[in-house]
Amino acid sequence: MDLALAMAPAALAIAASPFGIIPAILFLFTPRPRVGAGAFLTGWLLGIAAGFLLAALAGAWLADWSPGPALPWVKRGLGVLLIGLGARNLLARGKAAETPGWMRGIETATPAAAARLGLMLSLANPKVLLLALAAGALALEAGLAVGSGLAGSALLFAAAASATVALPLLAHLLLGEAALRPLGRARDWLVANNGLVVGGVLALIGLKLLLG
């Protein structure tokens, strides 16, 4: 329970990130909505789990396979990076930005391309990756050994962090086309306010890692 509570802020921050939610919604406006959204969700979830395991395994290796003096420095470094990214998000909010290339390609994406996009936007996105790394470091500090317990925690963390990416697909499965109008409004709100939401949460988690 203590570990779950410690990892909850990072999972919530990833869940609030528009980098997963916006594509998850956009795929529902394509010719094969459920296939594309499902493939994207799979890639997104696997990328988060991989980032979690990467941090835990790296921390274990640095600390000779047990939480040791290297781990607090890993946490502090991640904390500083998260605070910096949070400040950058807050300062940049409200600025107009070009539509990213990956967003323009969603309309014609194959299922394989959708899964690759999910991996790229999670595992190769600095904000999402750092949050997954921070959660992995917390798991190692809590005493989880490298093995099934750590892998299970990675999957549970990834599932919790991916809940908001799964919700649009679930809404479409349950409600069909009727879900598209409210999902479109949610997408527009996230685009307008993502700097404030993500920046604030990144900074708070960074402070927790830095001072904890």
Tokens 């790229």 -> residue? 120
pLDDT confidence band for 80 (50 / 70 / 90): confident
Task: Check pLDDT > 60 for residue 96.
Answer: no
Closest CA to 34 of 181, 187, 179: 179
Structure tokens at 102: 């990956």
Concatenating the DSSP letter of every residue in 46-86 gives HHHHHHHHHHHHHHHHHTTTS--THHHHHHHHHHHHHHHHH
- Give the model's pLDDT for residue 91: 74
- Cα–Cα distance, 36 to 200 (Å, whole number): 31
Q: What is the mean pLDDT of residues 36-48?
A: 96
Closest CA to 135 of 31, 43, 59: 59
Dmax over CA atoms of the chain, in Å, equals: 54
- Give the model's pLDDT for residue 99: 54
Task: Check pLDDT > 80 for residue 15.
Answer: yes
Q: What is the mean pLDDT of residues 110-134?
A: 87
Alpha helices in 93-179 (DSSP H): 101-104, 111-123, 126-141, 148-161, 163-175
Task: Check pLDDT > 80 for residue 146.
Answer: no
Closest CA to 49 of 86, 11, 75, 22: 11
Task: Check pLDDT > 90 for residue 24.
Answer: yes
- Cα–Cα distance, 186 to 25 (Å, whole number): 9
Task: Check pLDDT > 60 for residue 95.
Answer: no
Weakest-pLDDT range from 50-64, 99-113, 117-131, 147-161:
50-64
pTM: 0.76
Q: What is the dihedral of CA 143, 6, 207, 158, to 10 degrees?
A: 100
Task: Check pLDDT > 50 for residue 65.
Answer: no
Q: What is the mean pLDDT of residues 117-128?
A: 85
- Give the model's pLDDT for residue 126: 76
Task: Check pLDDT > 60 for residue 1.
Answer: no
Task: Check pLDDT > 90 for residue 34.
Answer: yes
Helix (H/G/I), strand (E/B), else coil: 85? helix
Sign of CA dihedral 1, 152, 86, 114: negative
- Cα–Cα distance, 146 to 72 (Å, whole number): 18
pLDDT confidence band for 71 (50 / 70 / 90): low
| Residue 112 CB-density burial (10 A; 0-12 exposed, 13-18 middle, 19+ buried) | exposed
